[in-house]
Amino acid sequence: MNRKSLLLPVAITMATIALATPAIAATDYSQPEPGEALPGGSTSHHKQLNINAFSQSSANMSFEKELDFKLGNGIFKKIWVPAPSSTTASDGLGPLYNARACQRCHLKDGRGHPPEANWPEDNAVSMFLRLSIPPQNDLQRQQLESGKIGVIPEPTYGGQLQDLAISGLAGEGRMVINYRESIVTLADGVKVSLRHPTYSIAELNYGPLHPQTMVSPRVAPPMVGLGLLEALPATAIEALADPEDRDNDGISGRTNRVWNSFSQQQDLGRFGWKAGNPTLIQQAVGAFNGDMGVSTPFAPAASGDCTAQQTDCLRQPDGNTEQQDNAEASAEMVRLVEFYSRNLAPPARPDFDKPEVLKGKAVFHQSGCAACHQPSFTTASRRDMPEQSDQLIWPYSDLLLHDMGEALADNRPEFLASGSEWRTPPLWGIGLTKTVSGHTYFLHDGRARNLLEAVLWHGGEGSVSRDRVINLPTADRQALMTFLESL
């Protein structure tokens, strides 16, 4: 890769984007569809499906680019330290933070998880709480209406609760989770227990929260296939939106429109639990700054998420150096992390053609799951993303917002997303969660302890499909789980 190309945002013109539409789903599921063995098209890797299954580079990547991928991986794993330090390429952590490395949350590029117990028995290193408040005045209402910001941060604690701090400072507080259980009885008599979380914050070290604070728990999502999602034409995603439910199928997915800080205009939201980010680089910049307190040329505040009320935090030394573009992480470092994230390849599916898997696929479609979990797309022609260009992919997501009902609601809006709307999460690789991440916790806060629980939590637009699954014969339900585990 040309190093200079890493330093500037890539300008995308209409000439670089080919219109594409979702692939038409088959109606005969007794045989596999062409291409579904390779969820990421030619990027799909055929390496061993072990703990490193989500950490492989695009299979169609040139040998010359492997160095950039490995450099990006190194920065992704880099342990940041507080400034000042003799290791000037690694200092600048905090002052407040949630993790010391990208890898700490996205361990093996996989899915985060809720703590097994509250602090101090366990930490919450791959999960945190988003914080915001409703607009308090006309200026804040105008800021939200302009689309340039998606939330109003909590005035004392900022946009997220940072439970860790450098020496000499206190972390902001500790997330506390309490669960209660409820029972869902399936048509065949099987009883499934669902755990309902409630969230609070203990040990608030900088004063009380605003009385209208809205809290949203978030676990780190898996990294696999992100570049392919970025390569999807916006038109293909927007074509699936039906906010007024004009076809009367009960599904009214809609797009989130978010602020693109690089193009300085509104853009289609693709990434994050509520589709609050438009691009991988913006997602990376936000993680550098918010999760680790590391400044970049694109978000130069060396104090990270420190607020005006946290005066001791603002006084801390920074690690900004001329060698790092007057920041703590240089533009090139950010671009290498972006390149690495873009090229984390989905693994090929070895069991895609097994009869039980195909039977489960039929149940998946018959239950209506594919109405939101759109199976396949063709990516755009992108000169700047040759590995992801013109690929038939199988993410099982429409990347749209859907109202998932009150039980899953965080009651915290983000840009156009309401407090009960969530972006459809891609399902590719989901069956490898246990192998890669060592657990089977699903949904935005990890409340579901397995895939069946995750299905049973679907409400709102997903309630019809959920009820169909509840009423499935035992063999069909087992086939559905087998299909999901094959993805």
- DSSP for 139-151? HHHHHHHHTS-S-
What integer pLDDT is reported at residue 25 of this predicted model? 52
Residue 17 scores a pLDDT above 50: no
Amino acid letter, 242 = D
Residue type, 13: T
Kindly provide the b/e burial profile for residues 285-321, where b requires at least 16 CB atoms within 10 angstroms of the residue's own CB.
bbbbbbbbbbbbbbbeebbbbbbeebeebeebebbbb
What confidence category does residue 27 fall into, taking pLDDT thresholds of 50, 70 and 90? confident
Q: Which helix (H) or strand (E) holds 217?
A: strand 214-219
Tokens representing 206?
A: 């900088």
Q: What is the mean pLDDT of residues 457-469?
A: 98
- What is the band of 23 on the pLDDT scale with cuts at 50, 70, 90? very low
Global pTM value = 0.93
Read off the DSSP letter of residue 101: S
- Average pLDDT of the chain is 94
Q: In 3-state terms, what secondary structure has residue 449? A: coil
C-alpha 66: how far from chain center: 25
pLDDT at 301: 87
Q: Which of 9-18, 123-132, 361-370, 458-467 is predicted least confidently?
A: 9-18
Q: What are residue 277's DSSP bridge partners?
A: 271
**Cβ within 8 Å of residue 343, ≥6 positions away:** 43, 57, 58, 61, 65, 69, 227, 387
Q: Are 25 and 365 in contact (CB under 8 A)?
A: yes
Residue 139 in tokens: 């200026």
pLDDT tens string 167-196: 999 999 999 999 999 999 999 999 999 999
Note the pLDDT tens digit of each residue in 279-289.
Answer: 999 999 999 99
Cβ–Cβ < 8 Å for 432, 465 = no
Do the Cβ atoms of 273 and 220 come closer than 8 Å? no
Q: What is the DSSP string of 428-474?
A: TTGGGHHHHHS---BSTTS-BSSHHHHHHT--GGGHHHHHHHHTS-H
Is the confidence at residue 154, as pLDDT, over 70? yes
pLDDT band at 26 (very low <50, low <70, confident <90, very high): low
